Amino acid sequence: MRNPQLNAHGELIHLLSIEGLPQPVLTHILDTASSFVSVSDRDVKKVPLLRGKSVFNLFFENSTRTRTTFEIAAKRLSADVINLDIARSSTAKGESLLDTLANLSAMHADMFVVRHSESGAPYLIAQHTAPHVHVVNAGDGRHAHPTQGLLDMYTIRHYKGDFTRLSVAIVGDIVHSRVARSDIHALTTLGVPDIRAVGPRTLVPGDLAGMGVRVCHTLEEGLRDVDVVITLRLQNERMSGALLPSAGEYYKHWGLTRERLALARPDAIVMHPGPINRGVEIASDVADGTTSVILPQVTFGIAVRMAVMSILAGNEA
Amino acid sequence: MRNPQLNAHGELIHLLSIEGLPQPVLTHILDTASSFVSVSDRDVKKVPLLRGKSVFNLFFENSTRTRTTFEIAAKRLSADVINLDIARSSTAKGESLLDTLANLSAMHADMFVVRHSESGAPYLIAQHTAPHVHVVNAGDGRHAHPTQGLLDMYTIRHYKGDFTRLSVAIVGDIVHSRVARSDIHALTTLGVPDIRAVGPRTLVPGDLAGMGVRVCHTLEEGLRDVDVVITLRLQNERMSGALLPSAGEYYKHWGLTRERLALARPDAIVMHPGPINRGVEIASDVADGTTSVILPQVTFGIAVRMAVMSILAGNEA
Amino acid sequence: MRNPQLNAHGELIHLLSIEGLPQPVLTHILDTASSFVSVSDRDVKKVPLLRGKSVFNLFFENSTRTRTTFEIAAKRLSADVINLDIARSSTAKGESLLDTLANLSAMHADMFVVRHSESGAPYLIAQHTAPHVHVVNAGDGRHAHPTQGLLDMYTIRHYKGDFTRLSVAIVGDIVHSRVARSDIHALTTLGVPDIRAVGPRTLVPGDLAGMGVRVCHTLEEGLRDVDVVITLRLQNERMSGALLPSAGEYYKHWGLTRERLALARPDAIVMHPGPINRGVEIASDVADGTTSVILPQVTFGIAVRMAVMSILAGNEA
């Protein structure tokens, strides 16, 4: 079966997951994003690339922050953006999801930005939608968050250049994290030789090694001489049952403090997908420190989303 | 008293109801919509006709779908669209509806798109609003849903051409349906000689005949040789008391199945205002079948709303 | 310490309070607003001054009406407007307010329009935000509502001309009113010689005299020969405890009726920040009377907000 994200020419028509995307596609997105970083610096932060296009934000799972980044990205491309309050919409009147989407397609929608608590929902949508509609996964269950993965790669490339000589540690609640999953696929595809999944056994099970990462159950092993530390948000709201004693307990053992960060290379950058829990997965002085690139991640995130949307809009199914 | 929808030159200044609109006004809307159908097909789906105009969506009764169609239509005309969360607004602080509207008028609003659970509310608003504001009824109580009626007419004309030789069946919960009421007025005005209101006695009372329709209490009589079948949504949420045994029972007696559709002309089109209840008022294979034009209705709906808005904006009270 | 609202050249970079703003800054805003009043009268009510700028509405305290005026003003300046549903956003996930704002800044926000129930919140935000972000206070606690104050000044100047010969009465719940506070600072700065704070002792305490107003505990004294009457909304929702017997009791003693208005000059204008409580602080026939300028206030409010935003956007921190 053909990759549902690519057309017959191998061009991106949906962004559903980083898994399965060839390296040139990822690199093309990052290169395109470079040009949009300068757009956001200009006095008039607007380009007409999506003028007259209709972008629908379909957030079945609420996330004001991520929705906002897509809304800004689309508006800076001059698209018309429609935020659907999906919880109050026709699905509430008993209409099926696919009927709702067929209706939006019939309104000549050009793009669906989808967040959903069920893994795979954006795939289902891409599969059933009309050919003129492009689907962007803005996070599905524990599965994938590809634009976050891409903006993380943009950030790493911006600060560290060549991927093929890097050591990258991903620290924390990896098992519940779609960000970690997308990062691991992206880092692998881009040729990073040393990827470490770091955390307690409950959050970093040994079978993760199957994804091509080194599983580390101590910070000493996990952070030693890495170039990049990606700290994950402790997903309290996603955990079922008591996998962890408490936030305080977690910080004591796994929080990224200045002392622990000293294990990494002196020029190691610190990343986090946000929103951060200060004093839980990361110490405040590390989050605000000179090697933290957490806010640049946000800035690059707009450019990466502009890149994804403009590339998709240019390719025909 | 002059028709509140027309100015002294007989031009449309508000769209409140199809009842009372002369045939040339309806035909002008449909003709204008034709040009907008092609706009939606273009790569840049935007025309500057409402540039700088402020369109307010005032949905006192929630309807994400209908609001979205007006929002898209207005944005494709380059208007600024403001969605008022009317339930949380000043009316909640004890301000009267008319004071709220006077305030919006004072902000130089150009158009109010109004949905309200009370029949007649858009009339009241049109009556009291400043002369520079145009009012569009997006559905009021059981009274009228004129843009739905117009898009239905557009769809029928698109597929069937000449209205004056057609048989049209409207099937289902007619007594609670503002769509049915608007359709009947439009079909009558446009010269359709055979309009049938089809359904059980509880939902299609005999006195409907006063509107110029043939009342049919059997599908055999109602669907025989018609060119168009308009199926209505079973308005569960609108029914007070137990007029119907159950959705299953309704489907058994009145649901539009393939067998029943065979009573109509072989080229009869099947319409529905949406959202559809599959397996209640319509069978899935009919809704998705080759003669179903339910999704084209949605597409034409955008063009019809663009036509209404641009015509109103061009006419002075 | 430098005024946080002004840059080193004395230009406005945030609008947080009228208190402390020099008279030429106020006059410049009013003069700029004049040009925008004519924009709103034009057929195309749009100027490209904020094209490509991103304006964020951050309403921690809900106010559909005020948010709408800022949204309209920003859109007429061609800005991209993002309404953040701040109650559902990351702050709900435990992120601190300052972290949320740092994230929005990193998205290259240009302006934050802030309403907050805590006095001083916009100051805190202006203090901590990135230099490229301008902050507009859209009402904070009981402290200030500077754009309301400015639109009141615009209205007074429009109808009465020279500030330096006027008598202005502010009537009602002054102690809870940020509008009154902003009006008093503006009137003082613009040289109004006779400002009266009128109301019962519970709502107009004697120590208000320290602000340079004459405290009047009778309407006879308060309204006698004034040129302008600013009636305040009875802030039921803001009162703690039983400072007042009832709305009816208030109207009986302090409501602005036609008889009481006769105490003022014959050409005195009647103002109110809205939404009005008819029959509480103002009689219906006064609110709708020939000397009422309540709706012109709303119209001028859009122009004043356009003026503030365009001035801020033109000045660098």
Indicate the residue of C64, C72, C278 with minimum beta-carbon distance to B90. Answer: C64
Candidates B68, B84, B154, B272, partner chain A, best to mutate (most A CBs within 10 A): B68
Distance of CA B287 to the CA centre of its chain: 19
The DSSP string of C84-145 is E-GGGSGGGGT--HHHHHHHHHHTT--EEEEEESSTTHHHHHHHHS-TT-EEEEEEETTTB-
Tokens of C67: 């948010």
Judged by CB atoms closer than 8 Å, whether chains meet at C237 and B93 is answered as: yes
Is residue B56 within 8 A of residue B84, CB to CB? The reply is yes
Neighbours of chain B (3+ CB pairs under 8 A): A, C
Q: How many CA atoms lie within 13 A of C172 on its CB side?
A: 28
Is residue C308 within 8 A of residue C75, CB to CB? The reply is no
Is the pLDDT score of C140 beyond 90? yes
Q: What is the pLDDT of residue C2?
A: 77
Query: Per residue in A100-110, pLDDT tens?
Result: 899 999 999 99
Q: Is the dihedral of CA B272, B274, B279, B284 positive or negative?
A: positive
On chain C, the residues whose CB falls within 8 A of the CB of B100 are 65, 275
Q: What is the pLDDT of residue A43?
A: 80
Is residue C173 within 8 A of residue C203, CB to CB? The reply is yes
Report d(CA B251, CA B241) in Å as an integer.
Answer: 19
Q: What is the pLDDT of residue B228?
A: 98
Phi, psi of A138 (to 5 degrees): -105, 25
On chain C, the residues whose CB falls within 8 A of the CB of B80 are 46, 72, 75-76
Indicate the residue of B45, B65, B237 with minimum beta-carbon distance to A108. Answer: B45
Judged by CB atoms closer than 8 Å, whether chains meet at B72 and A106 is answered as: no
Judged by CB atoms closer than 8 Å, whether chains meet at A72 and C53 is answered as: no
Return the SS3 of C101: helix
A24-38, B150-164, C39-53 — which is least confidently predicted?
Answer: C39-53
Tokens of C282: 């103002």
Q: In terms of Cα–Cα distance, which of B85, B109, B89 is closest to B97?
A: B89
Query: Per residue in C302-311, pLDDT tens?
Result: 999 999 999 9
Judged by CB atoms closer than 8 Å, whether chains meet at A64 and C90 is answered as: yes
Candidates A65, A155, A236, partner chain C, best to mutate (most C CBs within 10 A): A65
A82-96, A244-258, B73-87, C142-156 — which is least confidently predicted?
Answer: A82-96
Judged by CB atoms closer than 8 Å, whether chains meet at C295 and B103 is answered as: yes
Is the pLDDT score of C107 beyond 60? yes
On chain B, the residues whose CB falls within 8 A of the CB of C301 are 107
Tokens of C212: 């340079």
Is the pLDDT score of A238 beyond 60? no
Task: Name the percent of chain A lying above pLDDT 70.
Answer: 94
Is the pLDDT score of B245 beyond 80? no
Which residue on chain C is closest to B94 by alpha carbon?
A: C277
Indicate the residue of A84, A89, A107 with minimum beta-carbon distance to B299. Answer: A107
Q: What is the pLDDT of residue B237?
A: 58
Which residue on chain B is closest to C275 by alpha carbon?
A: B95
B214-223, C77-86, C158-167 — which is least confidently predicted?
Answer: C77-86
Residue B97: pLDDT band (50, 70, 90) is: confident
Distance from CA of C42 to the nearest CA of B (A): 9
Residues 6+ apart with CB under 8 A from A93: B237, B275
Tokens of C76: 């007429």
Candidates A50, A78, A107, partner chain B, best to mutate (most B CBs within 10 A): A107
Return the SS3 of C170: strand
Q: What is the pLDDT of residue A42?
A: 83
Is residue A228 within 8 A of residue A166, CB to CB? The reply is yes
Residue B59: pLDDT band (50, 70, 90) is: very high
Distance from CA of A123 to the nearest CA of B (A): 22
Which residue on chain B is closest to A102 by alpha carbon?
A: B295
Chain C residues with CB within 8 Å of chain A CB: 51-54, 80, 82, 84-86, 88-90, 93-96, 99-100, 102-108
Residue C113: pLDDT band (50, 70, 90) is: very high
Indicate the residue of B53, B85, B99 with minimum beta-carbon distance to C276. Answer: B99
The burial of B122, by beta-carbon neighbours within 10 Å (0-12 exposed, 13-18 middle, 19 or more buried), is given as: buried
Is the pLDDT score of B238 beyond 70? no
Judged by CB atoms closer than 8 Å, whether chains meet at B275 and A90 is answered as: yes
Judged by CB atoms closer than 8 Å, whether chains meet at B64 and A84 is answered as: yes
Query: Per residue in C210-268, pLDDT tens?
Result: 889 999 999 999 999 999 999 999 876 555 555 666 888 899 999 999 999 999 999 99
Judged by CB atoms closer than 8 Å, whether chains meet at A275 and C95 is answered as: yes
On chain C, the residues whose CB falls within 8 A of the CB of A299 are 106-108
Judged by CB atoms closer than 8 Å, whether chains meet at C106 and A296 is answered as: yes
Tokens of A252: 């004591």
On chain C, the residues whose CB falls within 8 A of the CB of B107 are 68-69, 72, 298-299, 301-302
On chain C, the residues whose CB falls within 8 A of the CB of A274 are 90, 95, 99, 103
Q: Which residue has the higher pLDDT, B101 or A91?
A: B101
Judged by CB atoms closer than 8 Å, whether chains meet at C51 and A62 is answered as: no
The size of the A-C interface in CB pairs under 8 A is: 72
Q: What is the mean pLDDT of chain B?
A: 93
Chain C residues with CB within 8 Å of chain B CB: 40-46, 62, 64-65, 68-69, 71-72, 75-76, 237, 274-278, 295-296, 298-299, 301-302
Judged by CB atoms closer than 8 Å, whether chains meet at A106 and B298 is answered as: yes
Distance from CA of A111 to the nearest CA of B (A): 13
Which residue on chain C is closest to B100 by alpha carbon?
A: C275
Is residue C302 within 8 A of residue B108, CB to CB? The reply is yes
Distance from CA of B129 to the nearest CA of C (A): 13
Residue A55: pLDDT band (50, 70, 90) is: very high
Distance from CA of C76 to the nearest CA of A (A): 16
Neighbours of chain C (3+ CB pairs under 8 A): A, B
Query: Per residue in A177-225, pLDDT tens?
Result: 999 999 999 999 999 999 999 999 999 988 888 889 999 999 999 999 9
The size of the B-C interface in CB pairs under 8 A is: 72
Query: Per residue in C164-212, pLDDT tens?
Result: 999 999 999 999 999 999 999 999 999 999 999 999 999 998 888 888 9
Report d(CA A269, CA A223) in Å as an integer.
Answer: 12
Q: What is the pLDDT of residue C91?
A: 56
Distance from CA of B40 to the nearest CA of C (A): 23
Strands (E), B141-274: 167-171, 194-198, 214-216, 228-231, 269-271
The burial of A52, by beta-carbon neighbours within 10 Å (0-12 exposed, 13-18 middle, 19 or more buried), is given as: buried
Distance from CA of A213 to the nearest CA of C (A): 30
Judged by CB atoms closer than 8 Å, whether chains meet at C72 and B107 is answered as: yes
Q: What is the pLDDT of residue C88?
A: 61
Is the pLDDT score of B149 beyond 80? yes
Task: Name the percent of chain B lying above pLDDT 70.
Answer: 94
Judged by CB atoms closer than 8 Å, whether chains meet at B299 and A106 is answered as: yes
Report d(CA B189, CA B26) in Å as an integer.
Answer: 8
Judged by CB atoms closer than 8 Å, whether chains meet at C275 and B93 is answered as: yes
Residue B317: pLDDT band (50, 70, 90) is: confident
Return the SS3 of B130: coil
User: Which residue's structure tokens are 């009021």?
Assistant: B140
Candidates B72, B293, B300, partner chain A, best to mutate (most A CBs within 10 A): B72
On chain A, the residues whose CB falls within 8 A of the CB of C104 are 68
On chain B, the residues whose CB falls within 8 A of the CB of A80 are 46, 72, 75-76
Q: How many CA atoms lie within 13 A of A279 on its CB side?
A: 5
On chain A, the residues whose CB falls within 8 A of the CB of B237 are 93
Which residue on chain B is closest to C278 by alpha carbon?
A: B95
Residues 6+ apart with CB under 8 A from B32: B307, B310, B311
